[in-house]
Structure 1
C-alpha cells in the first residue's frame, strides 16, 4: 500500500531515505530549511513519487514524518507542527556540532526523549540513527535473506513502532524492538550496537551489552 511520507531534512539520511522509500513505492514530500526551490534537482532524481515542499507541507503530507535535521536545528521546527503524526527520529547527539546539552551529558534523558518533548503530541519512533546513510541502500536485502542486517526501533506507542518497523522491513532490513524511548540510549553514539552491520540476534546481544 502506498503511503505518503514527509521528510524534513534533505541531507545524507533524509535524502537517502527518500530514495529507499520511493523505491519501495511510497510517495515522499521532501523539505529543508532553504525552501522547496532548492530541491528541484533532488526531486527530479527521485522521480514521480517525490515532490518538494515547505517544512509545513512535509509535516502535513501524511501520517508518518521523518525528522532528519541535526539536533541543534530541532528548535527551528514549530513544536506543534507534528501533533498527531508518527515521527521517525533519526538524530544523534554530537556536542561539537550541536553544542553541549547538559541533560544528555549527564545521561538524564535520551535524544529521542528530547525530540518527543519538543514535539509534544507526536508519536516518536527512534530509528535509522545507527546506520551510515549510504548503507541504507547498499545493505538492504529481501526478507529472509541470510545475514540480513537488523535495525533497532524504540517507541512509547506500539502502533507507531509497528508502522515504522513495517517500513524498515519494506526497504530491506530486519527489526529489533528495543523498547521504550527511555531505553533508546542503548543505540546512541558510542554504544556497541551503533554503526556496524549486525543480524537480529547479534544486535540484540549488542543492545544488552550497552552501558550507560
Structure 2
C-alpha cells in the first residue's frame, strides 16, 4: 500500500471542511480548493480549519498523495479529467436534487454515480467512501481505534490495493471500515438506500450491507445495473 502524508480536497463546502479538519487532526498535511478564487476561501479555511492550505485545484492535486472529491456531483465534469491522471481519488459525492437538479441531466440512469465518475476520470483510481454519513456525524463521531462507540464507513472500488489504502486512511481519520472491491456497490450508500444518512457501528453497517441485496431497493438497483 502507498503511504499517504498529504491530503488534497477539492471542494470547500461543509463536507470538504469537515474532512479537512479530520485529516489535520490525524496529522496529515492538507490542501483544499473551492469553486472560486483562492482569496475567496482563504479566510474561511483559516478560520474553520487553521493549518489547512487554501489553493487552486492544480496545486492541490500536484502536492497531494490522495485527492477527495467533495463537490456537488453535478460539477465533477467541470474538472479536467487529465488533472487527476495517475491519482488515487476518493469519491465522497452524492446526487442531491436540491443542489444538482434533475437526475437525468446529471447521471446516466443505467450506471451508478461512482461508475460514471470513474469513467470520466479514466486515468485516475476512484474509491467510494465518506458519502453516506452526514457531515455533522463525520465531525462529531470520529473515535480512536478500539473505542466501543466508534462508527464505520463503507469503502469500495474496483482496485483492491487502492481500496485497502483508502480503508487504512479512513481508519486513521477515526472510523472503522466495511470493505468491498466492486465500485458498483457504492450504490448501497447513496440517497434512497437504507444506509444513507446512517451513523452505525461496524457490525450494524456490515449487517445491513450483507442483507442489502434482499431489500426492494437492492433488487431494483440490481435490475438497473446488471
- TM-score, normalising length from structure 2? 0.87
Unaligned runs of 5+ in 2: 213-217, 222-226
Tell me, what secondary structure is at the counterpart of 1:66? strand
Count of aligned residue pairs for this structure pair = 211
Equivalent residues of 2:163, 2:181 under 8 A apart: no
- Find 1:94's aligned residue among 78, 93, 96: 96
Aligned to 1:47: 50
Please give the alpha-carbon distance, in whole angstroms, between the structure 2 residues aligned to 1:151 and 1:139: 11
Equivalent residues of 1:169, 1:175 under 8 A apart: yes
Tell me, what secondary structure is at the counterpart of 1:125? strand
174 and 75 in structure 1: CA distance in 2 versus 1, 3 angstrom threshold: same
Tell me, what secondary structure is at the counterpart of 2:67? strand
Tell me, what secondary structure is at the counterpart of 2:200? coil
Please give the alpha-carbon distance, in whole angstroms, between the structure 1 residues aligned to 2:23 and 2:190: 24
Matches within 5 A, 1:152-163: 152-163=154-165
Aligned to 2:58: 56
Runs of 4+ in 1 over 6 A off after TM superposition: 103-106
Aligned to 2:32: 30
186 and 133 in structure 1: CA distance in 2 versus 1, 3 angstrom threshold: same
Matched, 1:117 2:112: no
- TM-score, normalising length from structure 1? 0.92
Q: Deviations over 1:149-191 (max 9, x none)?
A: 1100011111211121111111211000033101211111121
Please identify, of 106-115 and 60-69, the stretch whose mean Cα deviation from structure 2 is larger: 106-115
Please report how far the alpha carbon of residue 147 of structure 1 lies from its aligned counterpart in structure 2 after TM superposition.
Answer: 3.3
Equivalent residues of 2:160, 2:181 under 8 A apart: no
